[in-house]
Amino acid sequence: MSDILYLIIYGFVVTALVGFLASWFERKITARLQYRVGPPLLQPVYDIVKLLGKETLVPFGVSKATFLSAPLLGLASVALVSTLLWVNTLNPGKTFIGDLVVVLYLLTIPSMSMMIGGFASRNPLASLGASREMKLILSYELPFLLAVFVPVIKGGFSIKLGELLSFQAQNGVFGGGASGVLAFVVAILCVQAKIGFVPFDVAEAETEISGGLLIEYSGSSLAIFKVMKNMLLCTLPLFLIVIFFGGLRFDGINALYSLLKYIGILFLIIVIKNTNPRVRIDHAVRFFWGPVMVLAILAVVLAFKGL
């Protein structure tokens, strides 16, 4: 299969479909925990179709190019990350030097695209949300990078996703040690912030700043941001599976095992969301630069010791 087909089929279509299902699953579980019925299966699709049918309004006096290109930038980055992850999962031989670095770089762009869109809208509440998003990025990125560095250390300092998958196939999940478990704990907390779920939803915070950095978006532009966030519910758990759980396999019983790995990580994200209150931005920064950073450094030290 050509790279373009991988991008279209796996990077966008498959990732979007899984993302929509994951979004419905998250909303359904959240509703059940709150003694509500929850939405029907196709509700995420209905929401996007409804937004696509509405007019896209651009605030007066803003840069239209910046305002309208921000959601496209975020969507494109998620599609590219998903493509790289699916390619390495389905055909590890297609890995290349530094693809892990490329993935890590691209994973920062969705949050930055929302931040750019918030600042570009020139709305005070959107600017406040964008500034919070910027502080969040600065707080969780370093612990996240340290957590990802742990399997790199244990895999012989390889920055090829395919080689990391091969190492885990021989040594077991988490790289076969306690450092991998600690790194996964750090990574799942950082992923919670990357998705923008409670307790780290301070950038949007509907009950506080009325949607924050997305407050001025409407119509197809808002739909693209919604699709991007749904796709992140597929891409980020898939990234954790590739880094810590040996990737996905679809032969025989391994297909069921792969499905359980994805559902398990998604369910963990949902549980964290529904068992914690929203934290203030200063508390979030102290949390990531405090205990989470200490845990990440400990995981790196243990990895260097071979544990």
With 90 as the cut, is the pLDDT of residue 156 above it? no
Q: How far apart are the C-alpha atoms of 198 and 52, rounded to whole Å?
A: 27
Please indicate, yes or no, whether the overall pTM of this predicted structure exceeds 0.85.
yes
Q: In the chain, where are the structural domains located?
A: 3-304
pLDDT tens-digit series, residues 24-38: 999 999 999 888 988
Report the phi/psi class of residue 211: left, alpha or beta, with left for phi > 0 and alpha for psi in -120 to 50.
left
With 80 as the cut, is the pLDDT of residue 3 above it? no
**In this predicted structure, what is the pLDDT of residue 252?**
81
Output the six-digit token pair for 91.
């055909």
Give me the sign of the Cα torsion angle 164, 168, 171, 174: positive
- Nearest to residue 242, comparing CAs of 86, 25, 29, 38? 86
| DSSP label of 258 | H
Q: What is the mean pLDDT of residues 206-222?
A: 83
- Nearest to residue 285, comparing CAs of 207, 203, 213, 225? 203
Q: Which residue has the tokens 């091969």?
A: 166
- Nearest to residue 133, comparing CAs of 158, 116, 154, 146? 116
Using the CB atoms, write b or e for 158-170: b if 16+ within 10 Å.
bbbbbbbbbbbee
**pLDDT category of residue 259 using cuts at 50, 70 and 90:** very high
**pLDDT category of residue 193 using cuts at 50, 70 and 90:** very high
The mean pLDDT of the chain is 90
Helix (H/G/I), strand (E/B), else coil: 247: coil
Of the ranges 124-138, 173-187, 205-219, which one carries the lowest mean pLDDT score?
205-219
**pLDDT category of residue 175 using cuts at 50, 70 and 90:** low
Q: What is the mean pLDDT of residues 260-275?
A: 94
Q: How far apart are the C-alpha atoms of 148 and 110, rounded to whole Å?
A: 19
Q: What is the mean pLDDT of residues 250-279?
A: 91
| DSSP label of 280 | P
* DSSP labels, 78-131: HHHHHHHHHHHHH-GGG--TTHHHHHHHHHHHHHHHHHHHHHHTT-HHHHHHHH
**pLDDT category of residue 176 using cuts at 50, 70 and 90:** low
